Every structure is written in C-alpha cells, then in structure tokens.
Structure 1
Amino acid sequence: MTLLLGVILFGVGLLLNVSLGTSDISVSTVIQALFFIDHSKDSLIVQQIRLPRVLVAVFIGANLAVAGAIMQAITRNPLANPQVFGVNAGASLIVVSSTVLLPQLTQQQLVYSAFLGAALGGLIVYYISDGGNARPAYLAIAGMTVHFFLSSLTQGLIMFNENTTDSVLYWLVGAIENRNWNHLKILLPWSIIGLVGAFLLSRSLTMLSMGDDMARSLGARVGFIRGFGGLLVIILAGCSVAVAGPIGFVGLLVPHIVRLMVGSDYRYVLPCSALFGAVLLIYADIISRYIAYPYESPIGIVTAMLGTPFFLYLAYKGGKSHE
C-alpha cells in the first residue's frame, strides 16, 4: 500500500510538475510531448526545459532521502541527516571555493569538490559528536554549529568576489531552476552508484540499526558497514549539492515518515525513502513556482518551511527523553 501510494503521488506529481508554470500546458499535450517529437512551442518547453528539471528533482530527492536514512542507521540518531551533519555545508564551502578560486573548472569537476567538502563537513561533526552517538539534542547543537561555521566561511568567500554573488547566493538556498539535460548527465551516474550501493547495503544497515553488539553477533562487519555507508552518503549528497545546492531537511523528514509506514527494515525503508524523497521534491518544486509568482523561488525555501518545525520537534523530543 505504501509503494502504491508513492507511485500514484509520483505519477500525478510528475504530470503536474511538467504541466504547471508561467506557461500552463495541458496534460494531454504533456503526455504527447513525452512520446512524440515535434517542434511546437509547448513540446519544446516540455522536452527541453521542464522534463530535465523534474528528473533532476527526482534524483536529488531520492539521493538526499536515502543519504539521510543511511546516516540515521549508522549513527542510530534520529536527527542525523546531510543538513545537520554538516555534509551539505561542507560540500557548499568547497564548491564555492573552487568556483571563486578556480573559475575554469567545469560542472563535472565541481562534483569532486563537492565530494571532498561533504567528507570534510561530515567527519568534523562525526568526531565532535562521539561518532554520531551523542544524544539527539547534542547532535543538533554540534551539527548546526559546524553548519553555521562552514556557511559563514562560504559567505565570506562570496563577499570577496562580488561578480559571482547573485548566482551563487541563489544556488546556496537550493535551486533546480534552469537545470537541463547536461546537469542530469552529471547527476545520473553518481546517483545510480549511490542508490544501488545503498540498496545492496540495506540488510546490513538493518542489523547495524539494532546496535553494534547485535550486528556483530549476526555476523556483520560493523566497521566496513559504517565506512561504506559514509562513502555512499558523500556520493549521494555531494553530487546533489554540486548540481542544485544544499537543499535541506529532505534527509531528515522523509526517512522518519517512511519508517512510520513500513517499519525499520531497511530493505523497505531505503527504496521507499527514495520514492518519497522524489515525491517531496517534485511537489516542493511546484510550490516554489507560486511563492512569488510569476517569479520562481528556490526549492530549498519550501523544504526548509516543511523541515524546520519537524527538526525542532525531534530535537525537543530527543532532549526530553534524556532528562
């Protein structure tokens, strides 16, 4: 039932996303444009502008949701996600640094900068939070402190290079506007590697989520699982940040909702997180088009509006449970 609900929401959202905008296009025209090539205005809008954009949203939503689910499994902390763990902020810092200091780098090369930054931010929070095992409230404080510190360094770099301020500031909020087939080509191979690797690791993550001792008694290699899981998080979050900026709270919100629906078996949690992460960003992208209509807003604004109250609730709940 959960998968059926997700597939229905996904299909409806996909059609609505491609149909709605400053120039509304009928659903029948959208369906025709998806299967037949012609040179009409509406067909070109669908095929060259809206379809690659929504596919970018699909893969980024899936990537960030699965990355959050993996982080919560390997740390057994409900607040662990790329935003709180400094992964997004670290990737943003190194991408912006590379853009400012090495403007000749291509978009493909910036992905590697994002991987490096994601690893940097994640490792800092991992070590100061006792390997991610600190209580949720402490992890929230430590993670957001690192997040704001790295973000302040990013803002400082932007201040000293005003020529890139407008585009970079918009990107830093998290945006998929003007993303095209080239961006999808950059995102797709890394997304496939990360998602397939996560699905293959799902059984081990289920054992790890029950505790290190239990996982070892079941024959799991705890160190390898944590290391490989961390690498997958870097790949999934890094390529997403490189293409669309640090879109926050997807990795926090979606895995929690999915676990309420399917339980804690990661063989179901991960694919459902990927599906509902894609659904979340598809609908968030639609909403972002109408916040300041006819102008478009960054999609990160919508996910922050949804995720911030949920984050505060989890932090409060985690703090109360340890009093």
Structure 2
Amino acid sequence: MSTKNNKSEQDNENNTPYRSKPFTAITVLLGGTIVLVLGLVISITFGAANINMKTVWTGVFQFDPELTSHQIIQELRLPRALAAALVGAFLAVSGAIMQGMTRNPLASPSIMGVTAGSAFMIAIAFAFFPGTSYVGLMMWSFVGAGLGAGLVFMIGSLSKSGLTPVKLALAGAAVTALLQSISSAIAIHFHVAQDITFWYAGGVAGARWFSVQLMIPVAIVGITLAIIISRSITVLSLGEDVAKGLGQRTRYVKIIGTVVVLLLTGAAVSVAGTVGFIGLVIPHITRFLVGVDYRWIIPCAAVLGAVLLVLADLGARMVNPPYETPVGAITALIGVPFFLYLARREGRGL
C-alpha cells in the first residue's frame, strides 16, 4: 500500500506544472551565452565607422592608443555593448523576481512604475541639484525606483477586491503617466528638457567605462542575492499560504527580493533610461523554456535579457543609419503586443 501511495505521489510530482527542466535550462544558458558573445562582437563591429573583425580583435586584446579605430572600440563601442548586456540582464532578473513574488504575470519594472520613478528622481536631480555626480544620479535612481513601486502598490491596495494583476497594471500605468507628466513639467520649467529626453527615450549610446564599472558591483550583489533567494521565490510563486505552510519566511524573502529589484532597476535606469518591456517579456519566455524553478529562471533570464537588449541596441542603429532610433522604441515593438495579450488573458479573471 505504501509503495502504491509513493508511486502515486511520484506520478503527481512528475505531472505537476511546477517541475523544472534542467537539461533545457543548461541548453538555454549555453546557447544564450554563445548568441550573446556573437551579438557583442557584431555590436562592436557595426557603427558609423566601418571596422572589420580583425581590427576588433586587436582593438580589444592588443590595444594601440595611436590608432583611431582602437580608440573607437575601447572608448565607445565596447563599453556600450557591455552596458547593454548588463542593463538587459538587470531588467530581466528584476521582472522575474517581481512576477515570482507577486504571482502577477503583468509585473515588470516598466509597468509597475519602477522605471518611471527612477527617471522622475533623476529629473529632480538635474533640476535642483545640477552637477550631481554619476554615483549621485544612481542613488537618486534607487530612491525613485522605491517611490514608483510604493505608489503603485499603495494605489492598487485601495481596491476592495484586492490587488489583481490587471488592477496593479492599471495603477502602474497611472503612476507612470503621473510621474512622466511631472518630470516633463520640471524639465520645461528648469530648462533641462534635453537631458531628460535621453532618459525617457532609453538607450546606451552614452555609456562609458565609468558606467560599466559602477554597474559591475551592483550586478555581483544583486544577481548573487537573486540566486540565493531563487529557491524561496519558487516556493513563494506557488502561493503565500503554501510557502508559509512549508516554513518559508515570506517577509524576509520579499524584503530581499524588493531590495534586489530596486538595486538592479535603479542601476539600469541610471545608465540607459526607461527601457521598457524587457522585464515583462523575458521572464515569460524563460518560464516557457525552463519551467518555473527560479534557480534556473534567474540565470537564464539574465542571459536572455542581455541578448535581447544587445540585439535591440544593434537594431536601433540599423533602422535609420547613420541616425539612431531610441532603443526603447525597439523593445516596445516587442513588448506592447505581448502586454496586450497578457492583459486580455488576465482580464478574463476580473
């Protein structure tokens, strides 16, 4: 009898939609890394100045400061490509954590007001504290990320029926519109519109080595913490009651997860502005590929997010050369239809 029950439990476990796919996850990690490396090489090669692969190789590994092409590679294209990869990874991991903690398929930094809050506080810094250092802008961005998220959850919680996914998305849209409107008013009144426009257009054209150097410690801390709590997020994604029943300290997991989201999103916005929808699309694609075990979702989402933004930045340079299209417009072309599909699907549950 015991053997039969054990077999039944094992069958149920094998049939559960929450099982992971480690072989697929490893394939995604390896394949995604290869595509990312190729994307970085192409991104460094492509630009207003034609530079061949051999020159790229020597410019990266045998740098000669006397050569203009090597200076372009080292000072402009290489930091830009690396910044795009880091920003894409940051936003994808942030979106995955938000969706796992809230069990909200519409959660992402751009939709939940986090990126708008960061950009709003950067506008405050430009207007009232001119000359703020890059580190200072990053600190303002962290504060703004917390402000945007706090406003969205506060407004969403006013509903009598609770925080449904679509209501949170509507609250996020309202807060985003409000903060963007105030930011625009500040930009016009204090004559900093040109600076603010960059943050709302989104892009990594202005990224330099200093930006990358600041992002690397954030990447180490943020993604390491995300991986540490990944197992707990997997349990939390099954439901808070289930998590508590399994002895999960949900409050601590949510606090650490929120800190990770604010760190990663704040750093991403301080470098690239409000690049939207990566944190929405990539976690869904990752879960479809590797299952819902966040021990695999977080590293896979980081790689796929990096790939998407590197390719989007490359596409932004190819649409209308020699001019550049804002990379946020490229990601929106993918993200908006995906968001409408999810909103329509979730709206049936209202």
Normalising by structure 2, what TM-score?
0.89
Contact 1:176 1:298 in 2 (8 A): no
Contact 1:135 1:319 in 2 (8 A): no
Question: Partner amino acid for 2:266?
Answer: G
Q: CA deviation at 1:131?
A: 10
Q: 2:307 aligns with which of 270, 275, 279?
A: 279
Runs of 4+ off more than 3 Å: 130-133
Q: Deviations over 1:83-124 (max 9, x none)?
A: 111101111111110111000311111111111110011011
Question: Partner amino acid for 1:91?
Answer: S
Structure 1 residues 4 and 191: CA distance shift in structure 2, 3 A: closer
Query: What does residue 254 of structure 1 align with?
Result: 282
In 1, the alpha carbon distance for the partners of 2:57 and 2:202 equals 29
In 2, the alpha carbon distance for the partners of 1:142 and 1:92 equals 18
In 2, the alpha carbon distance for the partners of 1:95 and 1:192 equals 24
In 2, the alpha carbon distance for the partners of 1:278 and 1:23 equals 24
Q: Which runs of structure 2 are paired with 1:1-323 in the superposition (5 Å)?
A: 1-38=27-64, 39-130=66-157, 134-162=163-191, 164-320=192-348, 322=349
Structure 1 residues 131 and 261: CA distance shift in structure 2, 3 A: farther
Contact 2:199 2:269 in 1 (8 A): no
Q: CA deviation at 1:217?
A: 2.0
In the alignment, structure 1 segments of 5+ residues that lack a partner are none
**Range with bigger deviation, 210-219 or 71-80:** 210-219
Contact 2:153 2:168 in 1 (8 A): no
Identity %: 39
Q: CA deviation at 1:141?
A: 1.2
Contact 1:174 1:244 in 2 (8 A): yes
Question: Partner amino acid for 2:46?
Answer: L
Question: Partner amino acid for 2:217?
Answer: P
Query: What does residue 22 of structure 2 align with?
Result: none
In 1, the alpha carbon distance for the partners of 2:157 and 2:223 equals 27
Q: CA deviation at 1:181?
A: 0.6
In 1, the alpha carbon distance for the partners of 2:274 and 2:260 equals 17
Q: Deviations over 1:8-33 (max 9, x none)?
A: 21111111100111112112221222
Q: Deviations over 1:120-149 (max 9, x none)?
A: 110111233239973222222111011111
**Range with bigger deviation, 166-175 or 307-316:** 166-175
In 1, the alpha carbon distance for the partners of 2:207 and 2:332 equals 21
Contact 2:119 2:199 in 1 (8 A): no
Q: CA deviation at 1:298?
A: 1.9
Contact 1:99 1:105 in 2 (8 A): yes
Q: CA deviation at 1:191?
A: 2.2
In 1, the alpha carbon distance for the partners of 2:209 and 2:324 equals 20
Contact 1:114 1:238 in 2 (8 A): yes
Structure 1 residues 121 and 20: CA distance shift in structure 2, 3 A: same
Question: Partner amino acid for 1:227?
Answer: I
Contact 2:120 2:144 in 1 (8 A): yes
In 2, the alpha carbon distance for the partners of 1:167 and 1:23 equals 26
Q: CA deviation at 1:214?
A: 1.3
In 2, the alpha carbon distance for the partners of 1:76 and 1:128 equals 18
Structure 1 residues 159 and 204: CA distance shift in structure 2, 3 A: same
Q: CA deviation at 1:48?
A: 1.2
